[in-house]
Chain A
Amino acid sequence: MRVALYVTCLVDLMRPAVGMASLRLLEAAGCDVVVPPGQTCCGQPAWSAGNRSLAGDLAKKAIAELEAYEYVVIPSGSCADQLRNVYPQLLADDPAWAQRAQRLAGRVFELSSFLVDVLKVCVPLADFNGSVSYHDSCKGLRGLGIKGQPRELLLKVRGLTLREMADCEECCGFGGAFSVKFAEVSTQIVERKCVAIAGVGADAVVGGDLGCLLNIEGRLRRRGDETTQVLHIAEVLAGNAE
């Protein structure tokens, strides 16, 4: 099975370990993983800013470099939502591109959903000694319906116990440019998330979107929490060693 790994611009820059962990998980599951070399960014920032033409250009670029693969796997619900749900409507006015976007959309998967819904076999590559609490990122949850998959995977990790935080489906306040444009509001929202995290007292907060994780980790550290780990699900499943 030829799978394209689309790591996302944020993982590439801020936490490459998430990309490497995704790669190991997919390879261990028997996939022939390719990292398409031209990949940059899916264009979501342009789309969110309301710039349809810039977002459209980047969508076409991504479609062209990804459409040859059987599957495209992305360790981010937000970017996967962009390719699956936004590209087709973004390019709807251009019949040829709309068709290509549609054909690609059904083959794009967020990592945990791909492991559970498509591969249906996933053996974690590492143990985790402690408790974790899963934060449901918005686009993954409400855009792609990802809810059970990450939990199912986490429960397979030896030594790991799963503890639900209060309001785990509530937004962490990141929202891409929102976190900078309306920084005070964003901070207020993530503060509530941190209170919920403190309430559950798990050893680690785990999520499927690096944006949310950077936001949560940044706030936890600022409010003096030096111990709660903030991890991408790929890092938990694959371990951090490379």
Chain B
Amino acid sequence: MTAAARHSQAMHFHARAGEKVRDEGLQKALQKAKPLFVGKRAKGMAALADDGLAFEMLRTACVDIRNRVLEDLDVWLEIFEARATASGAEVLWARDGDEICELVIDVARRHGVSKATKSKSMLSEEAHLNEALAAAGIRPVETDLGEYIIQLAGETPSHIIAPAVHKTIAEVEALFAREHGRPAETRTSADIPAMAREARQVLREHFLSAEMGISGANFLIAETGSAALVTNEGNGRMVTTLPKVHVVITGIEKIVPTLEDFATLMRLLPRSATGQTISNYVSLLTGTKQPGDTDGPEKTVFILVDNGRANLLGSVYQEMLRCIRCGACMNHCPVYLSLGGHAYGWVYPGPMGSVLTPLFTGVENALNLPHASTGCQQCAAVCPVGIPLPGLMQRLREAQVERRLRPRGASLALKAWAWLAGKPALYRWVMRRTARYLNWLGDANGRIPWLGQAPGWSEGRDLGAPVGKTFHELYAARKRV
């Protein structure tokens, strides 16, 4: 079993989903976030028209860029490695999460690091890096406000760009009061700036004292050997420029060929994520501190991670590697917006997580996720790199059937039903009987309050009882008249 599979709780999706639906605090937080997620993106995309641009046109361009990279990923990675090395950085390769941890700890030891500040990195979540660092005597400090909250709470992010979206203000206040050693107050959304200032004060000390900064990268730019970082809080700049060592951890698929390609992708990334025309900070980090530079790390290390990605190249799932981690799919997913991210059980939630989790941790270790979709296709509609997420979930469902991983009872029922649907005369007879039966189940108002064959349905919904005759019966009767 791989390290990723070991940490995954995706097999408990069903039970967790039930808990999350009943979690009032979580539901409140999600209901608050939903109109912001959806509304901001819609506004951001509509504003493209001001520049004479349109979403569909840009999406096609972004799809092309990402496809071009994936077709020759090895070549682009070699170019990146050569350029990054030439600019003074070191490029290391990690096969999986465990190797990420080993490499980071090794770099830390070589440079006498006792504290590392971190800007947001989902790869470090894949690797459970914070636990590994702590075990090695190195203190990791998350500096993205959401990640900081999550770290204080001892939780994992529930969203890839809004990691603490599942938390209410009251919960964050209780956490801050406890961790910052002060009495708790009554807080409203008007107090958010004050709370952010409070966190900033604590973090400032860490920024100045950490010997190592760890960040992710939204993109790696092959032609310049740079990491591109797209952030809003400014913590990314602190993490990547103040400490003497900067470690960038990112997936091998994050390469884009040129700065111009990066600029094109940036038209859609912030708009898809937060509706912003551009994020507050866009950093291009190249090499190490040079003579005459006033800041920057003395040592820059890129850790480029596979952790299941290379396996997708050339497979029917390759399109998933186009993902630029904007979060739009989950922000528009009715299932995600009902559960939040923790129900999904591993690092990535929502539709992209329902595809990535089985692919990275094993199809057999995430059986529910590809089915955790209403098939509404909104994720595909908003994806800035045109990933056919519903189609990929469909493929994963097929893979489960091919590998006989579906529950036996359900498979037999489906087979029996399909057999029946292939025998029209018998099918008609069964439908007539079923129509009578369901009609008989109806109460005085013509409703079925409890259907034993589908208790799940009946727990939350009535079912309108049918009139007792099928369409084909009514049609035959009409023809006779």
Q: Which residues of A contact B (CB under 8 A)?
A: 7, 9, 11-17, 19-20, 23, 35, 37-41, 43, 45-52, 54, 57-58, 61, 138-139, 142-143, 167, 169-171, 173-192, 214-215, 217-219, 221-222, 242
B281 at the interface (CB under 8 A from A): no
Interface residues of B in 365-382 (CB under 8 A from A): 370-378, 380-381
CB-defined contacts of A181 to chain B, threshold 8 Å: 371, 456
Partner-contacting stretch, out of B150-158, B177-185, B465-473: B465-473
Q: Considering the complex, give the chain A residue whose CB is closest to the CB of B339.
A: A185
Shortest C-beta distance, A112 to chain B (Å), equals: 19
Is A13 within 8 A of B431, CB to CB?
Answer: yes
Is A139 within 8 A of B377, CB to CB?
Answer: yes
Known contacts A45-B414, A184-B21, A189-B338; is A12 also within 8 Å of B461 by CB?
no
CB-defined contacts of B460 to chain A, threshold 8 Å: 183-184, 186-187, 190-191, 219, 222
B25 at the interface (CB under 8 A from A): no
Known contacts A16-B471, A183-B460, A222-B461; is A49 also within 8 Å of B410 by CB?
yes
Known contacts A7-B471, A188-B21; is A139 also within 8 Å of B462 by CB?
no
Known contacts A19-B475, A45-B417; is A13 also within 8 Å of B470 by CB?
yes
B434 at the interface (CB under 8 A from A): yes
Measured CA separation A218–B431 after assembly (Å)? 21
Is A173 within 8 A of B374, CB to CB?
Answer: yes
Is B464 within 8 A of A217, CB to CB?
Answer: yes
CB-defined contacts of B339 to chain A, threshold 8 Å: 185
Question: Would you mind naming 18 contact pairs between A and B with Cβ atoms under 8 Å apart?
Answer: A14-B438, A16-B470, A16-B474, A17-B467, A40-B427, A45-B414, A45-B417, A47-B394, A50-B396, A51-B401, A138-B375, A173-B334, A174-B374, A175-B375, A176-B375, A181-B456, A184-B17, A217-B464
Supplied contacts A9-B421, A40-B420, A214-B464, 6 more A-B pairs, CB within 8 Å: A142-B376, A142-B378, A183-B457, A190-B460, A215-B461, A218-B464
Measured CA separation A23–B476 after assembly (Å)? 13
Is B335 within 8 A of A221, CB to CB?
Answer: no
B400 at the interface (CB under 8 A from A): yes
Measured CA separation A57–B420 after assembly (Å)? 12
Measured CA separation A75–B313 after assembly (Å)? 41
Shortest C-beta distance, B26 to chain A (Å), equals: 11
Measured CA separation A221–B463 after assembly (Å)? 9
Measured CA separation A47–B344 after assembly (Å)? 23
Is A49 within 8 A of B406, CB to CB?
Answer: yes
Most buried by B among A35, A37, A49, A214: A49
**Which of A7, A38, A221 contacts B424 (CB under 8 A)?**
A38
Q: Which residues of B contact A (CB under 8 A)?
A: 14, 17-18, 21, 38, 334-335, 338-339, 370-378, 380-381, 394, 396-401, 406, 410-411, 414-415, 417-418, 420-422, 424, 427, 431, 434-435, 438, 447, 454-457, 459-464, 466-467, 469-475, 478
Known contacts A37-B424, A50-B400, A188-B338; is A15 also within 8 Å of B466 by CB?
yes
Known contacts A13-B466, A13-B470, A40-B421; is A183 also within 8 Å of B375 by CB?
no
Measured CA separation A175–B334 after assembly (Å)? 11
Shortest C-beta distance, A165 to chain B (Å), equals: 15
Measured CA separation A173–B334 after assembly (Å)? 7
Is B424 within 8 A of A39, CB to CB?
Answer: yes
Is B21 within 8 A of A138, CB to CB?
Answer: no
Measured CA separation A17–B399 after assembly (Å)? 39
Measured CA separation A179–B335 after assembly (Å)? 12
**Which of A12, A50, A177 contacts B471 (CB under 8 A)?**
A12
CB-defined contacts of A49 to chain B, threshold 8 Å: 397, 401, 406, 410, 414
Most buried by A among B431, B447, B457, B471: B471
Shortest C-beta distance, B18 to chain A (Å), equals: 5
Shortest C-beta distance, B413 to chain A (Å), equals: 10
Measured CA separation A184–B23 after assembly (Å)? 12
Shortest C-beta distance, A99 to chain B (Å), equals: 22
Measured CA separation A45–B427 after assembly (Å)? 16
Q: Considering the complex, give the chain B residue whose CB is closest to the CB of A167.
A: B38
CB-defined contacts of B422 to chain A, threshold 8 Å: 40, 57-58, 61
**Which of A35, A51, A183, A214 contacts B463 (CB under 8 A)?**
A214
Shortest C-beta distance, B129 to chain A (Å), equals: 31
Measured CA separation A172–B109 after assembly (Å)? 54
Is B378 within 8 A of A50, CB to CB?
Answer: no
CB-defined contacts of A177 to chain B, threshold 8 Å: 371
CB-defined contacts of A40 to chain B, threshold 8 Å: 420-422, 424, 427
CB-defined contacts of A47 to chain B, threshold 8 Å: 394
**Which of A11, A52, A142, A180 contacts B457 (CB under 8 A)?**
A180
CB-defined contacts of A189 to chain B, threshold 8 Å: 334-335, 338, 374
Q: Considering the complex, give the chain A residue whose CB is closest to the CB of B431.
A: A13
CB-defined contacts of B456 to chain A, threshold 8 Å: 179-184, 186
Measured CA separation A225–B397 after assembly (Å)? 37
Known contacts A49-B397, A49-B410; is A221 also within 8 Å of B462 by CB?
yes
Q: Considering the complex, give the chain A residue whose CB is closest to the CB of B391.
A: A89
Is B397 within 8 A of A171, CB to CB?
Answer: no
